[in-house]
Chains A and B, each alone.
Chain A
Amino acid sequence: GQQLNQSPQSMFIQEGEDVSMNCTSSSIFNTWLWYKQDPGEGPVLLIALYKAGELTSNGRLTAQFGITRKDSFLNISASIPSDVGIYFCAGQRSAGNTPLVFGKGTRLSVIA
């Protein structure tokens, strides 16, 4: 099935640094979601974006819904060791009872 183009695939950063990752698509989405997955766990919802241009924050996390509705980015400020994990973007085209389209994930490693 379709997947979103998510980059970078992996990142190694120093504790305290800011992180940025993004997702792009060739088609329009009505909702963009960002999830974090820890090893052996299911994805946990971080931020949900519903409108083009929307900028939403959740603590040190900030995400934006691209104005073209074909892209989204996630920023993490002042990274800490517990930010380690895999971050997935997901797009939803229509109603909630349709499947999400996922990016391939960004694996974040934080060096203390």
Chain B
Amino acid sequence: GAVVSQHPSRVICKSGTSVKIECRSLDFQATTMFWYRQFPKKSLMLMATSNEGSKATYEQGVEKDKFLINHASLTLSTLTVTSAHPEDSSFYICSAPPGGGIAKNIQYFGAGTRLSVL
């Protein structure tokens, strides 16, 4: 299947710093990507929809100034957690639909980023 690469896989940072997470579609172009947050033993919670060349769409309750999303190319979306605090510690996962034909409704996920804020 199509490959979505997410980097870094794990990051530990001090409170108050900003952290950037990258999501790349390696063998397809993605005009849309999705960012999720997952708490321990819970399902994936959609944070925002990243749209290439336009503003991201954020879910209710997600602070767009806190979680900056940039989808500057058809293969890269970035999520920046600004001024991170311990409560931002979580597992962040991106996904992208490869599009085209019958596979248009499939979404492939990155391996996730474990963020720990000290």
A97 → B minimal CB distance (Å): 4
B31 beta carbon closer than 8 Å to chain A: yes
Bound Cα distance from A105 to B45, whole angstroms: 12
How many residue-residue contacts, CB under 8 A, span A and B? 73
Known contacts A96-B97, A97-B32, A97-B97; A104 and B106 CB within 8 A of each other: no
Bound Cα distance from A97 to B111, whole angstroms: 20
B6 beta carbon closer than 8 Å to chain A: yes
A40 beta carbon closer than 8 Å to chain B: yes
Residues of A within 8 A of B43 (CB): 3, 88, 102-105
Bound Cα distance from A40 to B91, whole angstroms: 8
Q: Which bracket fits the contact residues of A?
A: 20 to 34
Q: How many residues of B contact A (CB 8 A)?
A: 32
Residues of B within 8 A of A40 (CB): 91, 112, 114
- Determine chain A's interface SS by DSSP, over half rule: loop
**Are B111 and A100 neighbours in the complex by a CB distance under 8 Å?**
no
Bound Cα distance from A42 to B92, whole angstroms: 9
**Are B99 and A96 neighbours in the complex by a CB distance under 8 Å?**
yes
Known contacts A1-B59, A103-B43, A104-B43; A96 and B93 CB within 8 A of each other: no
**Are B106 and A99 neighbours in the complex by a CB distance under 8 Å?**
no
Q: Which residue of chain A has the shortest Cβ distance to B91 in the bound complex?
A: A40
**Are B106 and A48 neighbours in the complex by a CB distance under 8 Å?**
yes
A106 → B minimal CB distance (Å): 11
Q: B residues engaging A (CB < 8 A)?
A: 1, 4, 6, 31-32, 34, 41-46, 49, 59, 91, 93, 95, 97-99, 102-112, 114
